Structures are given as C-alpha cells and as structure tokens.
Amino acid sequence: MPGTLEPSVGREIEKPLGIYIITVFDFITFGVVPLIGIVLLWGNAEVHMTFVSFLLPFPAMIASVWAMTGDNIGRWLLLGFVTVASLLTITNSLNLLAGGLVQGETAISAVAAVTRGLFWIGINWWYFNRQGIAAYYNRHKPLNIVERA
C-alpha cells in the first residue's frame, strides 16, 4: 500500500564473544562463589546466617543467564545485581575497616574486596554500555520509521 509507514528493522547482529565471557564470569563471581561460601559457612556455629542469605546469589545467576541470551532486560537486571552486590561488599568492607574490626591480612582482604567490587562495577557498566554491545541488545527495536512507496 503506497504511503504507509512501517518500522525499518536493522540487520541481524552476531552475538559478541565478550557477552559470553562477561556473563559467565558474573555467573561465577556473583552466583556460584557466594553460594559455595554460604553453604560452607551454613553449619558454622560462630556465623549467624539467615535463609535469605542462601537465596541472594540466585537472582545474579538468573540475570547473567538472561543477559547471555541477548535480552536487553536481562542486561539491565545483570547490571543492577552486579552493582548492588558489589556496593554491599564495598560497604561491608569499608565498615569493617573503619570500625577497626580487621587487622593485618584480614585488612588486606577487605581492601581487596573493595578493589574487586569497584572493578566488577566498572567492567560490567563499561562493557555492556559500549556502542556495539548496546546495539546487539537493542537489535529488535525499530531503528526508524520509513515510508514505503
């Protein structure tokens, strides 16, 4: 039909290899490793843990798999979970350092936790918001409206 408007859909964009790499590292770093730590500490009488602590790694694991599939909502959820989890780790470590509750090698571990948290926030936000990566996640959005003659 002449004069009709329809969305112009861009060409299919191949999934960048970095998406697999970053999401797998996020899955391990924010899901598997904390889950193993929680399971190992669960039976320790000196450490008080709630059942909610056991559930916290699962949203990050789900979001990383969702982001790996190429869905834009999964990308934003993963960025949110990585940011929140890292900020919680950074805040906890800084509180321990400021309160003088850690000394020696434990203080070095707390500083390393702050550094790791800042690194993961930075690398995830930088990578997932690069132009080519954002274009891959937004590939199903209409680019513009064109008039068909």
**Position 35 in a domain:** yes
**Position 59 in a domain:** yes
Residues of the domain holding 66: 15-139
Mean pLDDT, to the nearest integer, of 106-110?
Answer: 91
> What CA–CA distance (Å, rounded) separates 83 from 17?
22
Predicted confidence (pLDDT) per residue in 135-144, tens digit: 999 988 766 5
Tell me: pLDDT of 65 over 60: yes
**Position 147 in a domain:** no
Give the count of domains, the chain.
Answer: 1
Residue bearing tokens 């979001």: 63
Radius of gyration of the chain (CA): 21
**Position 80 in a domain:** yes
**Position 110 in a domain:** yes
Tell me: pLDDT of 34 over 70: yes
**Position 148 in a domain:** no
In sequence order, which residues have a C-beta less than 8 Å from that of residue 38 and are 6 or more positions away?
49, 53, 54, 57
**Position 75 in a domain:** yes
Mean pLDDT, to the nearest integer, of 18-37?
Answer: 94
Helices (H), the chain: 17-27, 33-42, 51-55, 57-68, 72-98, 105-128, 131-137
